[in-house]
Amino acid sequence: MKTWVETALNGPWRREHQPRLPVGVEQLVAEGIACADAGAAIVHLHAFDENGKDDVVGDVYARIIEGIRAERDCLVYPSIPTFAAPGVERFGHLRFLVERGLLELTVVDPGSVNLFPENDSPLPYPSLVYANSPAEIAEGLAYCADNGVHPGFAVYEPGFTRAGAALVRARPGVPQPIYRFMFSDDLAFGFRPGPAGIDAHLAALQTEAPGAPWLVAGLGLDVLPLVEHIVHRGGGVRTGLEDARFGCAKSNVELTRELVEAVVRAGSSPAGAAEVRAELKGAK
């Protein structure tokens, strides 16, 4: 089986955190295309305007996704507001994208987590709370079920896998989720990066949702030392300036190329978008 490669282009960060971050529609389209050329079958992004400000608007996302997909066949999916105030609409832009036939995947994270910095990491805030209420999670999964959209579960803590699988069982019609096991070198959440943490997450997944597709991703993470183990266990891998440690000197394209080279050294090759879609359709 080939290896899924995903590139997360930016995240909720700014250029003072990641100097080579793409901003604006044109830059995000160009980097998405270049990362697809480098081997990424999946591209994730936050919509930014030309001033580097989050722009969670369906039309802006549509321009970016259409721009990438007009040139390359890859799965491009948006974010939802990451640190939204209570009551803020988190899924409104998805309706616009579904109506335009642009939404295959989306973010529905099945839990909340405290993100504490470790090792004097240069984070933008002293600590972060990434909150997803039960009502918001239920809304997101209902939206996926009603529109044939695959939810992506970022698994920050082991219980997220159990909760996500239980919620999917309770909501018939939800397309196959993707489980992203989250690690960090700089933030104190979940397991420390390494084979033991990956295997612990995988054991939980095999209990709760056997056969489900999974990847390793992160925040403030150097993923390259983990690639060989991930490939041998049958998982996918994510890279990009959303996940990289702050102050990364490399571009998204350079990070993607490095990851693909590591995948090949581990004895695999990157999957294409059509292969990812087929595996999602055929997963249990």
**pLDDT at residue 91, as a whole number:** 80
CB burial of 32-70 (b: ≥16 within 10 Å; e: otherwise) equals bbbbbebbbbbbbbbbbeeebebbbebebbbbbbbbbbe
**pLDDT at residue 48, as a whole number:** 74
Q: What is the 3 state secondary structure string of the chain?
A: CCECEEEECCCCCCCCCCCCCCCHHHHHHHHHHHHHHHCCCEEEECCECCCCCECCCHHHHHHHHHHHHCCCCCEEEECCCCCCCCCCCCCHHHHHHHHCCCCCEEECCCCCEEECECCCCCCCCCCEEECCCHHHHHHHHHHHHHHCCEEEEEECCCHHHHHHHHHHHHCCCCCCCEEEEEECCCECCCCCCCHHHHHHHHHHHHHHCCCCCEEEEECCCCCHHHHHHHHHHCCEEEECCCCCCCCCCCCHHHHHHHHHHHHHHCCCCECCHHHHHHHHHHCC
**pLDDT at residue 87, as a whole number:** 53
Mean pLDDT by 10 residues, the chain (284 residues): 96 90 94 98 87 68 96 95 62 87 95 86 70 91 94 97 96 96 95 98 98 97 98 98 95 98 98 97 77
**pLDDT at residue 116, as a whole number:** 87
**pLDDT at residue 244, as a whole number:** 97
Query: Which CATH number fits the domain that encloses residue 14?
Result: 3.20.20.70
Domains in the chain, number: 1
Its pTM stands at 0.94
**pLDDT at residue 52, as a whole number:** 59
Q: How many Å from the N-terminal Cα to the C-terminal Cα in the chain? A: 16
Domain range enclosing 85:
5-282
CB 167 within 8 A of CB 195: no
CB 34 within 8 A of CB 28: no
